[in-house]
Amino acid sequence: MGQNNHIHHHLFEKQNKPVKFSGSTLEVVHQLIKRYPEGQQKSALLPVLHIAQEELGGYLSVDIMDYVASLLNIQPIEVYEVATFYSMFYLDKMGTYVIEVCRTGPCAISGGEQILAHLQDVLEIKPGETTHDGLFTLKEVECLGSCGTGPVMQVNTEYYEKLTPGKVDKLLEDLREYANQPKPGDSTWVEKFC
Ligand code: FES
């Protein structure tokens, strides 16, 4: 019995990497939480979820949401509700680059449909899917608030406007190239919230 427990424990550890922020990120998170009076720590939830998604693998697993709940001293269900409500939080593993194409009227009629069709063609995926190399996830979204410069799409945090199939091809090429380069640790995203 004792040995079985040991094996089980071992497997559990192997399959579930412990979820934890790095020391410096944890400090940022504690600073954020401290801004709010006792009992209102939930106000820090959105920025902390952003940081968690960014730092802990690009999406919010149940383990990560539970970890965030424990840090903010709130119920896990409160975190699940917020994470599922906002489309900027991902509950599944996403590609390195999440391409969100605006499908709302003004963009659609100025060439947005063609852009989406082109992306489906060249990436060989449908909206909601991720390429086999894990690089690109394609999504259709509603108005991105930049209707005068359509067609528009957002790739991670960047906007790309007045798109043509040629511009899209060039961007995909650049992103592929960038993804294959070694990068220094990028902490700018976390710093934005300090
Ligand atoms: S309709 Fe596309 S950004 Fe508004």
- pLDDT tens profile 19-38: 899 999 999 999 999 999 88
Give long-range contacts, CB 8 A cutoff, 24+ apart: 119-126.
119/168, 122/168, 122/169, 122/172, 123/172
Whether 161 has a pLDDT exceeding 80, the answer reads: yes
Give yes or no: residues 69 and 44 share one domain.
Answer: yes
Tell me whether residue 91 is in a domain: no
- Domain boundary pick from 51, 85, 119: 85
Report the CATH number that the domain containing residue 62 is assigned in CATH: 1.10.10
Ligand 1 lined by 141 (C-beta under 6 Å): no
- Domain boundary pick from 85, 119, 141: 85
Pairing of strands 153-155, 97-102: antiparallel
Give yes or no: residues 150 and 111 share one domain.
Answer: yes
**What DSSP string describes 47-97?**
HHHHHHHHHTTSS--HHHHHHHHHHHTS-HHHHHHHHHH-TTS-SS---SE
- Residues spanned by the domain of 106: 97-179
Whether 162 has a pLDDT exceeding 90, the answer reads: yes
- Which pLDDT does position 191 carry in this prediction? 54
Tell me whether residue 51 is in a domain: yes
Dist CA 10 CA 112 (whole Å): 50
Beta bridge pairs of residue 138: 99
Tell me whether residue 38 is in a domain: yes
- Domain boundary pick from 85, 107, 138: 85
- Which pLDDT does position 180 carry in this prediction? 83
Ligand 1 atom with the shortest distance to the CA of 106: 1
CA of 141 to the centre of ligand 1 (A): 9
Mean pLDDT of 171-178: 94
For the chain, what is the domain count?
2
Ligand 1 lined by 102 (C-beta under 6 Å): yes
pTM assigned to the model: 0.61
Give 74's contacts (C-beta < 8 A, 6+ positions apart). 41, 42, 45
Rg, Å, the chain Cα set: 20
Whether 78 has a pLDDT exceeding 70, the answer reads: yes
In which element (H, E) is residue 193 found?
Answer: none
Give yes or no: residues 113 and 70 share one domain.
Answer: no
Dist CA 181 CA 175 (whole Å): 10
Mutational test site, ligand 1, from 101, 103, 107, 113, max ligand atoms within 8 Å of CB: 107
Ligand 1 lined by 106 (C-beta under 6 Å): yes
- Which pLDDT does position 188 carry in this prediction? 53
Ligand 1 lined by 146 (C-beta under 6 Å): yes
Q: Is-cis flag, bond preceding 151, omega within 30? A: yes
- 84-123 confidence digits (pLDDT tens): 998 889 888 889 899 999 999 999 999 999 999 999 999 9
